[in-house]
Amino acid sequence: MLSTRILIIGGGIHGTFLARALTEDCGLDAGDVLVLDPVGRPVREWRRRCCIVGMSHLRSTSSHNMETDYRALRRWARQHGYEYDIHFREPYARPSVYAFHAHMDHVLVRSRIASRFVPGTAQSLSRTVTGWIVESEAGQIHAETVVLATGPGPPRVPAWAAETEIRHVYADPEPPRPDAGTRIAVIGGGISAWQFACRYAGSHDVSVFSTHGIRASMFDSDPGYLGPKKMSSFLEKPVPAREHELRTARRPGSIPPDLETMVRTHLAREQLSFHVAAITSARETSSGYELRTKDGARHGGFDEVVCATGFQGQHAPGGFIAQVARECDLPCSTEGYPLLQRDLSWAPRLHVAGGAASLVLGPTAGNIVGAHKAFRTLRTGLS
C-alpha cells in the first residue's frame, strides 16, 4: 500500500498548483505529497481542452499563473524573449496559451512535481484512525490528509443529445477532427462553443445554435469577488443566499471582447451562421443530422453535431464529491456543494479545492485564481 502525508486527488490546474506550492513555497518535502490522477501527468485535461477548441489567449490575466507570485509569468516571459505584443493581450495582460504553457512547463520541470503523480482514479474514500484510505486502480493509498481537486465534473450534455450519437466537444480523449468542407453544428453559446466554431470557420460550413445571443464580458464572473470587496459580505450570508449569489455573480455563456470581435468578423464574412434557438431533438437522416428547434423549425444536413454545453459541476450528483458525501456521511448544500469550514475542511484532514469550494472561495473558486486562493487558505493547515 502506498502511504503519504498529503494526497491530492485530481492533477489538473488546481491539484498541480497545490502540490507545487506546498512543496516549493511551504517547504514540505516532495516525498510528503502524492497526486492521484487518471493519466498520471500534470494538467492534461486543461491542455487537451485548450487544444480541442484552439484557444489562443487565456481569458484571465497573466497574474493568474502556476506560480504563487502574481508577477512570475510576465517576468519569466520577459527574461525568455516572449514579445509582449505577441504573447500578451490587453487589457489585463492576458497571456497567450503558448506562453502560459511554456511557463507552466518551466515550473513543472523546476519543481519536479510530475514525479509525485500516481496514475489512477480514486474510487472511494474511507476514514481510518490516522487519516484516509483511498481505493484506486493504483491500489490502496493511505494518506494522513486528502485534498479533493477533481475538476469541473463531467461534461453536460442536453437530454435530447444524450439519446443520440452526438458527443460533447470534451467527451472523448481524441478531439473531434471534422474533414474540411463538412457541415458542423455547434451547440452552445459560451467560450468553448465560439472558440471551436471560430477554429473551423472558413474551412468548414459552421452553424452555431445557442439559446441566447452573443454575451460579451471580460470576465466569467464579477471581479469584485477576487478580494474582500464582495467576498466579505458573501461569506456573512447563509448558505442558500450564497448559492443564489454564485448563480448571479457568474456569467456562463459569455465570451471575452476579443473573441466577440473574431466571432462578429466571421459572421460578417458569412464564414459562420448563428441561430438563437433551443434545440429540442435531433435525428440522423440519409443527408446527415437534422435538428429541430423549440419553435418547430428544422435545420438539416449536418455531418457533425458537437455540444459545447459546459460541465455538470464538480459537486454534481453522480460525481466523486457527491459519492464521498454519501459514503462518508458528509454535509452538502441543497445544490450539492460540500459544506466546508473556512479552512476548506469538509471533515478532519479532508479538504476541498476548485469549483466545489465555491461556498467558501466564491464564484472564482474554479478558475486559476481559485487555486491561488485555495492555497492561501490551506497553507497553514497543511504545512
Ligand X SMILES: Cc1cc2nc3c(=O)[nH]c(=O)nc-3n(C[C@H](O)[C@H](O)[C@H](O)COP(=O)(O)OP(=O)(O)OC[C@H]3O[C@@H](n4cnc5c(N)ncnc54)[C@H](O)[C@@H]3O)c2cc1C
- Interface residue with ligand X, options 7, 19, 46, 225 (CB under 6 A): 46
Q: How far is the CB of 299 from ligand X (least distance, A)?
A: 25
Nearest to 108 by CA among 185, 201, 218, 23: 23
β-bridge pairing 139-148 and 131-136 = antiparallel
Alpha helices in the chain (DSSP H): 13-24, 44-53, 72-79, 84-87, 97-111, 159-162, 191-200, 228-236, 239-249, 257-268, 320-328, 358-361, 368-382
| Nearer of residues 126 and 287 to ligand X, judged by Cβ | 126
- Interface residue with ligand X, options 8, 15, 66, 373 (CB under 6 A): 15
Chain-centroid distance, C-alpha 320: 15
- Interface residue with ligand X, options 4, 62, 150, 210 (CB under 6 A): 150
58-66, 204-212, 325-333, 334-342 -> range binding ligand X (CB under 6 A): 58-66
Contact string (CB under 6 A) for ligand X, positions 332-351, x = contact: --------------------
Q: How far is the CB of 43 from ligand X (least distance, A)?
A: 7
User: Is the bond preceding 91 in cis, omega lying within 30 degrees of 0?
Assistant: yes
Task: Identify the H or E element spanning 300.
Answer: strand 298-302
- Interface residue with ligand X, options 352, 366, 373, 377 (CB under 6 A): 366
Longest dimension (CA), the chain: 65
Question: How many residues bind to ligand X according to rule CB under 6 A?
Answer: 34
Rounded CA gap, 131 and 118, in Å? Answer: 19
Task: Identify the H or E element spanning 7.
Answer: strand 2-9
Rounded CA gap, 255 and 59, in Å? Answer: 9
Site membership for ligand X, residue 21 (CB under 6 A): no
- Interface residue with ligand X, options 117, 160, 196, 320 (CB under 6 A): 320
Rounded CA gap, 54 and 37, in Å? Answer: 24
Q: How far is the CB of 238 from ligand X (least distance, A)?
A: 26
Site membership for ligand X, residue 188 (CB under 6 A): no
Site membership for ligand X, residue 9 (CB under 6 A): yes
Site membership for ligand X, residue 254 (CB under 6 A): no
Chain-centroid distance, C-alpha 349: 25
| Nearer of residues 153 and 158 to ligand X, judged by Cβ | 153
Contact string (CB under 6 A) for ligand X, positions 105-134, x = contact: ----------------xx------------
Q: Which residues bind ligand X (CB under 6 A)?
A: 9-15, 36-38, 44-46, 49, 53, 55, 58-60, 64, 121-122, 149-152, 191-192, 320, 354, 366-369
